[in-house]
Amino acid sequence: MRVRVATTALGITAALLAVSACSSTTADTTSDTPSSVPSGKPALSDRNAALLSSDVLERRLLDESDLGGGYAHKPERAAQHDDITVVGCPALSELGGDAATGGTLAFPRKAKAAFTYAGGSSELSEELYSDSATKLSDGISRISGAMTGCPSYQVVAGGTPIDVSTRKLPAPHGLGDEQWSQLLTFTAGGRSTVVKQTAIRDGSLLLIVSGSPALVDRHLGAALAKATATT
């Protein structure tokens, strides 16, 4: 149950962001917008305007040699089509419960990798996307406002109720142009799984690292350095 809940957690968060990125409705996220660099370097400037292809993004993902011992690549799971219902959070319900079954955002240029650690007791997921700074920033702002606006709610996936609590975390200042971080606790079947998710936008590139909090903190800097390397 623990592993299943953790995987569901990552998919729910990413897919809801995908829906918000495609939505034409502007949400009021004044108090929950991502942290950004000072106004001297506008957060929405396309200073890295050149978009990266999915092939290039794939090569910039962390791999086992970057992570060190104890990590194993986790094969991508087959798409699931369980009915998803969000209870107790109107903002997320409006985004569409069915979208929560996905695992990637709705940007055409993307790459993703997932790993288990210490024999599968912990997990780490990395996602890279490339699009205009405006589109990437808008997607983060929308999901940030929706999720942090609901400190607790329930997701019913395929008939299984999963209690979710969210807490906004201090963003890692000094990395990229915009940063966003939160802690999610998923409880099902009497067991809880804690997932940390941190997103960093650097120009026209978006990095999302999710998983066990200690693993996210340990590898976030290396993931951003490799993702933004120009050589």
Q: Encode pLDDT of 69-82 as tens digits.
A: 999 999 876 655 55
Distance between CA 122 and CA 7 in Å, rounded?
A: 11
What's the mean per-residue pLDDT of the chain? Answer: 78
What is the band of 13 on the pLDDT scale with cuts at 50, 70, 90?
low
Residue 40 in domain: no
pLDDT at 12: 53
Pick the residue with more confidence: 143 or 16?
143
Q: What mean pLDDT do residues 217-224 have?
A: 97
Tell me the CATH number at 215. Answer: 3.40.1000.70
pLDDT at 123: 93
How many separate domains does the chain show?
A: 1
Distance between CA 139 and CA 26 in Å, rounded?
A: 10
pLDDT at 121: 85
Q: pLDDT digits over 179-208, tens only?
A: 999 999 999 888 999 999 999 999 999 999
Q: Taking 60 as the threshold, does the pLDDT of residue 158 lie above it?
A: yes
Distance between CA 189 and CA 194 in Å, rounded?
A: 15
Distances (CA, A) of 30 to 17, 146, 200: 17, 11, 18
What is the band of 95 on the pLDDT scale with cuts at 50, 70, 90?
low
Q: What mean pLDDT do residues 30-41 have?
A: 42
Residue 203 in domain: yes
Q: What angle do CA 16, 114, 36 make, to 5 degrees?
A: 55
pLDDT at 23: 41
Range of the domain at 95: 2-35+45-227
Q: Taking 50 as the threshold, does the pLDDT of residue 52 lie above it?
A: yes
Distances (CA, A) of 59 to 55, 100, 157: 7, 27, 33
Element (H, E) at 35: strand 35-36
Q: What is the DSSP letter of 119?
A: T
What is the band of 210 on the pLDDT scale with cuts at 50, 70, 90?
very high
Pick the range with the lowest mean pLDDT from 60-64, 83-87, 203-207, 216-220.
Answer: 83-87
Report the interhelical angle of 2-22 vs 133-148 (nearest 10°). Answer: 120
Q: What is the identity of the amino acid at 146? A: A
